[in-house]
Amino acid sequence: MGAQAVAITPKEDTWAMALRQFNVAADFLPLKRGIREVLAYPKRELTVNFPVKMDDGSVRIFTGYRVHHNTVLGPTKGGIRYHPGVTLNDVRALAMWMTWKCSVVGLPFGGAKGAVVVNPKELSRDELEHLTRRYATEISILMSPEGDIPAPDLGTDAQVMAWIMDTYSMHAGHSTPSVVTGKPLAIGGSQGRSEAPGRGVWLVAREASRQVGIPLDGAKVAVQGFGAVGSTVSFLLHDHGCSIVAVSDSAGGIHNEKGIDPRALRRFKDEHGTVAGFPGAERITNPELLELSCDILVPSAVQGQITSENAPRLRARIVVEGANGPVTPDADRILADRKILVVPDAISNSGGVIVSYFEWVQGLQQFFWTEDEINHNLERIMLRSFGQVVRTAEEKRTTLRTAALIRAIDRVAEALMTRGIYP
Ligand code: GLU
């Protein structure tokens, strides 16, 4: 296998993908045309171009977005992504996916997403703080504990959330922790929140393996992406008997049939900035990782990775989506024909937003739960939702993705029609 690094970049327009998935599921529901359109289109979209003073004294303009896809079920919820290639269409899709994710797992939230077009690794810590505080100020017309509650996503973390919380609080004149989730524990974050997205992926990987009849003990796992989701899910699957045979990040991947110790790999990545070059493993590219023979493949990098081009060559038995939108609609069809089970993002990576909900509730009530309570309630909600989606898929004879979207769209449609169209 070649050793050349291949960047992880999406290959299909994300918004087109999200709409195609929506249309497939909406066709199962008796929705009037107007209602269907309300559910498809983003409710509001904000684009901001804003200046940031850089360390060398120069001023640079950055572009940011915040999209509210749907607000019918409650305040909007969704992360903020810092990525050099992010587009408004990506943010629209990601916001729509948040609507379905919150709906299918039963949270009282609508869907939103935000982004800044930037490579955060190229900024100093001061520049990152200035950019974050200015972006937070620009989107503060949309953000509030009752209206829209951001969280971390690709390229952002708990520290970025702390700066957003502080900026909002300085303008409000009082501390407002519930305006963001995924905050550090020191300022009202929740136990278990940083681990939650990966823990959720592990929980559904376990349930899906049971369903397909693959014992987790000894199962071979390949993980694309070694960020917050990819590393936690690797630790948990490894701790429960799986063999992590391959891992990648944006600089390339590594492969070892005998298994990789994910914690040693984490230490290596912290030191060298990438997993590539980890001793004792063979170097592979991201496309090669996706096509390895394994039991469970966890794409947890970015959208649009498994396409009509590589889906015919996939050799995994189960694909559990750690990222949002890693499998395109064409690939979904090919994998369904090939009887490869795909557990869709709306369920599999909902752990983050579920514990965000717990964090928001704890912040509003000023009453905090233990890590055991958090993890127990996370597992209860995820297993219930997974079971419901599996049953709907059986009833409607469709994929888990379409079943999840049918349930999600139906819940929002019912709420919309119960509330009525104003005025
Ligand atoms: N960014 C995460 C996601 O895509 C979490 C969103 C949140 O907690 O609001 O689900």
Report CA(257)–ligand 1 centroid distance (Å).
Answer: 33
pTM: 0.96
> So what's the pLDDT on residue 234?
98
Mean pLDDT, residues 171-194: 98
Question: Has residue 8 got a pLDDT over 80?
Answer: no
Question: Has residue 185 got a pLDDT over 80?
Answer: yes
Q: How confident is the model at residue 11 (pLDDT cuts 50, 70, 90)?
A: low
> So what's the pLDDT on residue 12?
72
The alpha-carbon radius of gyration of the chain (Å, integer) is 20
240-253 pLDDT, tens digit per residue, is: 999 999 999 999 99
Residues labelled catalytic: 113
To test ligand 1's pocket by mutation, which of 153, 161, 199, 378 has the most ligand atoms within 8 angstroms of CB? 153
Report CA(88)–ligand 1 centroid distance (Å).
Answer: 17
Q: Which atom of ligand 1 is nearest to the CA of 153?
A: 1
Q: Which atom of ligand 1 is nearest to the CA of 357?
A: 8
275-300 pLDDT, tens digit per residue, is: 999 999 999 999 999 999 999 999 99
What domains lie within the chain, and their CATH numbers? 42-179 (3.40.50.10860), 196-348 (3.40.50.720)
* Residues in contact with ligand 1 (CB, 6 Å cut-off): 77-79, 151, 153, 181, 324, 349, 352-353, 356
To test ligand 1's pocket by mutation, which of 178, 353, 358, 362 has the most ligand atoms within 8 angstroms of CB? 353
> So what's the pLDDT on residue 251?
94
Report CA(32)–ligand 1 centroid distance (Å).
Answer: 30
Q: Which atom of ligand 1 is nearest to the CA of 355?
A: 8
